[in-house]
Structure formats: structure tokens, C-alpha cells
Amino acid sequence: MNLPRFVRALLAPALLSAAAHAADFAPAIIYDMGGKFDKSFNQSASDGTTKFKQDTGIEVREFEVTNAAQREQAMTRFAQRGSQIIVAIGFSQASAVEAAAKKFPHVKFAIIDGTVNLPNVQSINFRENESSFLCGMAAALASKTGKVGFVGGMDIPLIRKFALGYADGAKFVNPSVEVYQNMTGTTAAAWNDPTKGSELAKSQIGRGADVIFHASGNTGGGVMQAAKDAGKLSIGCDSNQNYIHPGSVLTSAVKRVDVAVYQTIMDAKNGTWKGGPIVLGLADQGVDYALDEFNRKLITPAMEAKLNQAKADIISGKLKVAESKAP
């Protein structure tokens, strides 16, 4: 990514306001607190918009929120400037999307990780429990101590879903495995606190964990660093994070936010866009575990066979992965 283009992308919302005509297709995307370069969730969305730009040459207006009040303002501004589709990244934008979608019924909205029941909103959710299940299996198979860890970002049902899938997956291969779970916090700041992430990971390592899975956006940088410093393994989240510390990242629970973002913008451009809920799981290749040259040596053929078997069983419905704890 070269500098001038990058700067243009950042300034796009301001500069394009005057230039955009109603006829021009001007999609917009609003990232959440972790920031566009969190190497995880938001960055995956950013990859989707970059691909769209490359494929079509159409600029995507971007906005990174730094406090909660900006969400609805940004949506309103984009809508007023004639964006036909506005993609909101992250569950915490749901109420802002709902308000903005009611105000602008002719503008298309899409929300990732949230549900808004309006005709002009596409609610895209993922079956994170399925990819987390596979990562839990990988963790338990790779663990020598029989103890594995999980560090979540903000304590919300979505992250609980990750944690549950992970724990179930770990117990699926080793019923006696111990799973330590920590949440970083209860506010949005928990997505961007690598120091705390590192502290939580160190505490789990101190208790014997040797594989730690994070689902915590930018906070995960600290988790993965702590695991690497201690010579343990970590598991990345949302984006494929295997490359960050080659040889120390066991795998990543990939969530194809990039594909979802690309698809919804593309559909809007081509006129095939429809509102309503979309749920993407292993079967739709919306989630997966990552295997590439950076973790090839960590995943043994035996592990890979087991993981792929479980994956096939989940897709065929033979193996059921719970989404939430039974009440």
C-alpha cells in the first residue's frame, strides 16, 4: 500500500463530499474501536474493501471511530453524502445502524456481528463457535501440559461463543483438559489493551497453559507476544495471524469478514443486494482454521487429519457444536 493512495483513502470522506454525484457508487465502511490496523477483526474488513477497490477501481469511504458517539454521526454523514451502502463493523454499532437505517430507508446498511431487523439492513453473523471448536481441538492436541488458555476481549455473548466453542473442542479430543478463560474487560477499551492481554496470558502460562487462544482484536497482540516470549503457542483470531510470530502461532480462527464485506458491497453495486440475516459457518467457508507455510510445522499430519475429519462432520451435521450454554 503506497502512501499517497493510503492518504487519499483516509481523506476520502472529506474530499469526496463535494465531488460525489448521486449517480456515483460510493460505498462506505465504518470500523470499530480496535482500529483498521488491528491485525485482526477490523483489518480483515479492511482487506475486503481493499480488494473491492482493486477489482473495481471504486474508492470506499472509510471511517475509524474513536468514541461511541461518532458511530451514528459518521453513518448519517455518509448517508447524506450519497453513499448507497454503509457497512458497519462490529456488534457495538447495532444501535447506531438501527437509528441510521430508520432515518435513511433508501440507503442500504450492512452490519457484521450484529442483528438489526429492518428491511434495508443486512445482518451478517458468523458461526465462530465452529472455527473455535477446531482451534480448541488443535490446542488440546498440541498441548503438552493438558492445560490451554483463552483470552477474550470485551465480555459479550459473541466472545462467550468463541470461548464455548474452544472449550468444547478442547474437551472433544481430551476430556480431562483444563481450559482457563479470561476476559480483558467489559468496555470497548478491552479490544485495544495489549498490555492487559499480555498480563492475562502470562497469568495463564504461569498456571501451566501452553496454548493460548485470543479473541480480542488488538489486545491479542499482547497475548501472542507473551506466548512467544515464554516459548509457548498462541492461536490467532479473525484474520489469519499465523505470520505474526511464525512458529509460535499454532493456527488462527479465521473469520472471513473480508469476503462478507466484499460481497455485500459488490452485491449493492450489481443490484443483487438483499436485506435480512446472513449466517456464515464452516459450510459456507465463512469461518475456518488457518493452515499456511507459517504454521505448517506445528500442525502434524495426524492433527490435520483429525481437524479435517471434525470439520467434515460439522459440515455434514454429524457433529453438533453448541452456540451457547444450555440454560
- The reply on whether position 180 binds another protein by CB under 8 A is yes
User: Which one, 1 or 22, has the nearer CB to another protein?
Assistant: 1
The runs of H, that is alpha helices, within 83-193 are 94-103, 128-142, 157-173
Interface residue with another protein among 229, 267, 284, 304 (CB under 8 A) is 229
Q: What is the DSSP string of 191-231?
A: GS-HHHHHHHHHHHHHTT--EEEEE-GGGHHHHHHHHHHTT
Interface residue with another protein among 85, 140, 183, 257 (CB under 8 A) is 183
β-pairing, 147-154 with 178-185?
parallel
- The reply on whether position 45 binds another protein by CB under 8 A is no
Interface residue with another protein among 129, 225, 240, 264 (CB under 8 A) is 225
Interface residue with another protein among 80, 186, 285, 324 (CB under 8 A) is 186
Question: Hey, which residues between 59 and 118 contact another protein (CB under 8 A)?
Answer: 64
Q: What is the DSSP string of 287-305?
A: EEE--STTTTTTS-HHHHH
CB 223 within 8 A of CB 244: no
- The reply on whether position 244 binds another protein by CB under 8 A is yes
Q: What is the largest CA-CA distance in the chain?
A: 63
- Count residues contacting another protein (CB under 8 A)? 35
Q: How many CB atoms lie within 10 A of CB 322?
A: 12
- Which of 88-96, 107-115, 184-192, 257-265 is the region at the interface with another protein (rule: CB under 8 A)? 184-192
Angle, CA of 237, 260 and 94, to the nearest 5°: 80
- The reply on whether position 245 binds another protein by CB under 8 A is yes
User: Which one, 51 or 202, has the nearer CB to another protein?
Assistant: 202
User: Which one, 206 or 317, has the nearer CB to another protein?
Assistant: 206
Shortest distance, position 149 Cβ to another protein, whole Å: 10
- Which of 98-106, 130-138, 218-226, 300-308 is the region at the interface with another protein (rule: CB under 8 A)? 218-226
Among candidate residues 291, 249, 217, the one with its CA nearest the CA of residue 142: 249
Shortest distance, position 278 Cβ to another protein, whole Å: 28
- Which of 112-120, 133-141, 181-189, 303-311 is the region at the interface with another protein (rule: CB under 8 A)? 181-189
* Residue 99 grid cell: 437509528
Block residue for cell numbers 483444563: 178
Give CA 181 to chain center in angstroms.
Answer: 19
| Residues listed for the chain | 327
- The reply on whether position 153 binds another protein by CB under 8 A is no
- Which of 51-59, 92-100, 122-130, 185-193 is the region at the interface with another protein (rule: CB under 8 A)? 185-193
List all residues 6 or more positions away from 273 whose beta carbon is below 8 Å from its beta carbon.
85, 108, 122, 264, 267
Shortest distance, position 200 Cβ to another protein, whole Å: 5
- The reply on whether position 27 binds another protein by CB under 8 A is no
- The reply on whether position 206 binds another protein by CB under 8 A is yes
- Please return the burial class of 242, using the count of CB atoms within 10 Å of its CB with bins 0-12, 13-18 and 19+: buried
State the residues that interact with another protein by CB under 8 A: 1, 3, 6, 35-37, 64, 155, 180-183, 185-186, 189, 192-196, 198-200, 202-203, 206-207, 218, 221-222, 225, 228-229, 244-245
